Amino acid sequence: MSKFSSVIWPKVVLFGDSITQFSFQTNGWGAETANKLARKCDVVNRGLSGYNSRWAKIILPRLISSQNPAENHIAAITVFFGANDASLEDKNPQQHVPLNEYSENLKEISKFLSSAGVSADKVIFITPPPIHEPAWEKECILKGCPLNRHNSVTGQYAQACVQAAGQCGSEVLDLWTLMQKDGQDYTVYLSDGLHLSEKGNQFVAQHLWSILESRVAHLPFILPYWGDVDAKSPESSLLCDA
């Protein structure tokens, strides 16, 4: 068989906490994004349930290499932390990260990504969504602990994320603000007061795509359409670089 080059499959990386980890479930925002990008790039789920920005900053170099940036082939990456960082320090010290540190962690993540060949325009920060305290308090009580998050505090972290994104030169999807815009009932977007419902997943998928689409629009359809394959000489169609 003649020599041929490997197919390069670009990547969109989803980096975040449980809201990202669970995004590949049925009707999840990650699954929806992957479906739209089939045959154009791989959508890689790097969601880590329970993680905060402090831990994310530490493990990111284990997920993306800065040694050979050209080999990463990352078309875009979402950075979606804050829901755990915003935990109340006195109620949940394990996950809590102070506001100033959270902001600095996001900037450090951006700085590392740049060193790995992922420029700021390819990074999309996502703020935590709002918290519905009555629903989340029920979940906390079931686990034997008091309410450990407040919507107003999460809003401060969302604002810090927006500011950090601006300082890094990256775009941001401000879920905390958008989901509460014009006094709408944001509780329909949440399944338990913290995580996303089906409507919440649809909301994220729709708004993320409006940002992501321009970053992947240039990506070609990978490998020939089946109807274009030369049936008599498939190698001539399937092993060419065009």
The string of pLDDT tens digits covering residues 83-92 is 999 999 999 9
pTM value is 0.95
Is 224 inside a domain boundary? yes
Q: Position of tokens 């795509």?
A: 209
At CA 42, angle to CA 36 and CA 48, rounded to 5? 100
Q: Residue ranges of the alpha helices (H) in the chain?
A: 18-21, 29-36, 53-63, 99-115, 133-142, 151-168, 175-178, 198-216, 234-238
Candidates 18, 191, 197, 237; catalytic one: 18
Given this model, what pLDDT does residue 3 score? Answer: 67
Q: How far apart are CA 221 and CA 72, in angstroms?
A: 19
Is 37 inside a domain boundary? yes
Chain mean pLDDT for the chain:
95
Candidates 65, 192, 214, 236; catalytic one: 192
Candidates 53, 96, 170, 195; catalytic one: 195
Is 61 inside a domain boundary? yes
Rg (CA), the chain: 20
At CA 13, angle to CA 49 and CA 28, rounded to 5? 60
Segment among 64-68, 81-85, 142-146 with least mean pLDDT? 64-68
Q: How far apart are CA 99 and CA 28, in angstroms?
A: 29
Is 22 inside a domain boundary? yes
Given this model, what pLDDT does residue 2 score? Answer: 52
One DSSP character per residue, 6-36 reads: PPP--EEEEEESHHHHGGGSTT-HHHHHHHH
Q: pLDDT tens digits, residue range 151-173?
A: 999 999 999 999 999 999 999 99
Given this model, what pLDDT does residue 242 score? Answer: 56
Q: How far apart are CA 221 and CA 234, in angstroms?
A: 18
Is 30 inside a domain boundary? yes
Given this model, what pLDDT does residue 67 score? Answer: 87
At CA 74, angle to CA 205 and CA 210, rounded to 5? 25
| pLDDT-based confidence at residue 240 (cuts at 50, 70, 90) | confident
Helix, strand and coil content of the chain, in percent to the nearest 5, comes to: 50, 10, 40
Is 1 inside a domain boundary? no
Q: pLDDT tens digits, residue range 7-24?
A: 889 999 999 999 999 999
49 a catalytic residue: no
Per the structure, how many domains does the chain have?
A: 1
Is 4 inside a domain boundary? no
228 a catalytic residue: no
**CATH classification at residue 196:** 3.40.50.1110
Q: Position of tokens 């810090």?
A: 160
Is 49 inside a domain boundary? yes
Given this model, what pLDDT does residue 1 score? Answer: 45
Q: pLDDT tens digits, residue range 24-38?
A: 999 999 999 999 999
132 a catalytic residue: no
| pLDDT-based confidence at residue 5 (cuts at 50, 70, 90) | confident
| pLDDT-based confidence at residue 104 (cuts at 50, 70, 90) | very high
Expressed as residue numbers, the domain containing 118 is 11-239
